[in-house]
């Protein structure tokens, strides 16, 4: 049979695809269906058809999979924040391990490379130390609300998460289990306060309104709790009243900040910020080091899993006291400082000027003097000039963005030929590609997936490479 767009088919879901969708087959063609699990028999309507695959929308589960469970959150099938809540966590870890192995074999050409079992998180829920909610004037209506018809309560005010693929539609959350439970309680309080005091949400089409985002950051080891509200305008009297109300309702909050984004950019980073309560930052500890995290500081979003990932990276690095270590794409230097504790010298390179500034501050705050940080685009800065300045690396650690490493960076690594490389990746497909480009001079000794984001398909991977 020829598969047709717009038609509904019955099919069995046979596996879990990398992006969290289930995969079945029709007429030899792969069919990807969101919110399904291997073993489900479903009815699904084809929405997109390509040459070798198609995407379909789940319409009905005819026979649920033996592994299917009831999601904890009522929004799990809509929100997009937790694409695998209907799958037991033990099965999620198996899928993630298999996805890494598949990428290494299919993309990297590593036919016999062993992949360790994915290192799971003790917290399957409430694991994030940062949540970013959005206010919107166009609320997403659920199928149930549409079928009911009539007036919908708070139709023009929503506080929650973006609907995947829609910049202007916000799902009005009634619960969220990604961060500590206090996070949703604060969101719920601010939403009620805004409705009562006529603080209107920002309208992305009309370019008007007040409230844009609510960001909450909590520190696992110190208990610090930040509330950062992004607004379209600076209205000190209105914001102070809101900040006072938050502090009265939630005495555990340690700092309250107003980021003002008065541009049309959808970013949750303000053009400037005002601190209304507390120091304007929270403090977190990792590997015995202290880090000051401000409203817009990048930091690993799962603290306990970041500690496991860093321990694995240090183990694979095998640093001695005489080693010079380079940390590429170092961010605010959290891993660089951990490496520096064991090395003669650690050099971090990062494109973000603000992150490099923060990395230097972190080094000073932790009284670590054997570090240097360089700022710029990696393909330009990671050059012979840097090597002459800081010395040749004995060990190289790299943690690139999802796109992986630029060809010029890989060529420079090949020229330098350090004894060991530790490659930390948030995208195992580009990891596989880059490892293949190094495989003629390096052996891949270990591959360890680490689950930083339970209930999602995202996976971090740590690889150890040794010079042949």
| 431-465 tens-digit pLDDT | 999 999 999 999 999 999 999 999 999 999 999 99
Same topology, domains 105-123+302-467 and 130-286? Answer is no
The beta strands (E) that lie in 301-425 are given as: 324-328, 345-350, 371-375, 395-398, 420-425
> What residues does 29 pair with on adjacent strands?
26
Residue stretches of the chain with pLDDT short of 70: 1, 142-154, 165-167
Torsion of CA 43, 44, 46, 51, to 10 degrees: -90
What residues contact residue 33 under an 8 Å CB cut-off, 6+ apart?
11, 13, 21, 22, 23, 24, 42, 44, 55, 56, 57, 58
Cα–Cα distance, 26 to 31 (Å, whole number): 7
130-286 maps to which CATH number? 2.40.50.1070
DSSP 133-201: EEEESSBPPPHHHHHH-S--TTTT-EEEEEPTT-SS-EEE-S---SB-THHHHHHHHHHHHHHHTT-PB
132 with 213: CB under 8 angstroms? Answer: yes
42 with 10: CB under 8 angstroms? Answer: yes
Local structure of 377: helix, strand or coil: coil
With respect to CATH, is domain 8-68 assigned 2.40.50.140? Answer: yes
**425 backbone dihedrals φ, ψ, rounded to 5°:** -130, 140
Name the region of 232 (left: φ>0; alpha: ψ -120 to 50; beta: rest). alpha
What residues contact residue 213 under an 8 Å CB cut-off, 6+ apart?
132, 133, 134, 135, 229, 230, 259, 268
| Confidence (pLDDT) at 50 | 87
Name the CATH superfamily housing domain 105-123+302-467.
Vaccinia Virus protein VP39 (3.40.50.150)
438 with 421: CB under 8 angstroms? Answer: yes
Burial class (CB in 10 A: 0-12, 13-18, 19+), 336: buried
For the chain, the structural domain boundaries read: 8-68, 105-123+302-467, 130-286
Q: Which helix (H) or strand (E) holds 428?
A: helix 428-438
**Residue at token pair 């916000």:** 170
| Confidence (pLDDT) at 152 | 60
pTM over 0.85: yes
Summarised one tens digit per residue, pLDDT across range 209-234 is: 999 999 999 999 999 999 999 999 99
Torsion of CA 248, 250, 256, 261, to 10 degrees: -100
Catalytic residues: 426
């Amino acid at each position: 049979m020829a598969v047709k767009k717009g038609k509904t088919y019955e099919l069995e879901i046979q596996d879990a695809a990398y992006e969290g969708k289930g995969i079945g087959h029709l007429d030899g063609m792969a069919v990807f269906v969101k919110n399904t699990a291997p073993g489900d028999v479903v009815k699904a309507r084809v929405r997109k058809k390509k040459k070798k695959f198609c995407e379909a929308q789940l319409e009905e589960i005819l026979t649920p999979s033996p592994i299917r469970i009831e999601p904890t959150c009522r929004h799990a099938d809509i929100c997009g924040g937790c694409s695998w809540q209907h799958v037991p966590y033990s099965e999620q870890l198996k899928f993630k391990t298999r996805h890494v192995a598949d990428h290494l074999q299919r993309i990297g050409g590593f036919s016999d490379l062993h992949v360790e079992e994915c290192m799971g998180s003790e917290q399957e829920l409430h694991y994030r130390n940062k949540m970013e909610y959005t206010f919107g004037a166009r609320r997403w209506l659920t199928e149930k609300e549409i079928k009911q018809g009539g007036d919908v309560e708070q139709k023009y005010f929503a506080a929650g998460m973006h609907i995947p693929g829609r910049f202007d539609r916000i799902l009005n959350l009634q619960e969220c289990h990604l961060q500590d439970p206090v996070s949703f309680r604060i969101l719920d309080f601010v939403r009620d306060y805004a409705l009562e005091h006529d603080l209107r949400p920002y309208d992305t089409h009309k370019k008007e309104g007040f409230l844009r985002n609510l960001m909450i950051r909590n520190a696992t080891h110190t208990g610090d709790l930040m509330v950062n509200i992004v607004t379209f305008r600076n209205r000190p009297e209105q914001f102070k009243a809101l900040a006072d109300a938050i502090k009265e309702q939630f005495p555990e909050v340690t700092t309250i900040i107003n980021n003002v984004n008065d541009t049309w950019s959808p970013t949750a980073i303000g053009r400037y910020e005002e601190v209304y309560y507390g120091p304007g930052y929270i403090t977190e500890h990792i590997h015995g080091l202290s880090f000051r995290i401000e409203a817009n500081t990048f930091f690993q979003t799962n603290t306990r899993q970041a500690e496991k990932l860093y321990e694995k990276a240090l183990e694979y690095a095998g640093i001695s006291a005489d080693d010079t270590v380079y940390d590429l794409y170092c961010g605010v230097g959290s891993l660089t400082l951990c490496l520096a504790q064991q090395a003669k010298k650690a050099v971090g390179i990062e494109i973000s000027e603000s992150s490099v500034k923060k990395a230097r501050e972190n080094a000073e705050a932790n009284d670590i003097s054997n570090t240097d940080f360089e700022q710029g685009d990696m393909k330009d800065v990671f050059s012979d000039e840097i090597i002459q300045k800081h010395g040749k690396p004995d060990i190289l650690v790299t943690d690139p963005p999802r796109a992986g490493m630029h060809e010029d960076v890989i060529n420079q690594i090949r020229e330098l030929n350090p004894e060991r490389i530790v490659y930390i990746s948030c995208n195992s497909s580009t990891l596989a590609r880059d490892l293949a480009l190094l495989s003629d001079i390096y052996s891949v000794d270990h591959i360890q997936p680490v689950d930083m984001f339970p209930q999602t398909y995202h996976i971090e991977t740590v690889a150890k490479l040794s010079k042949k």
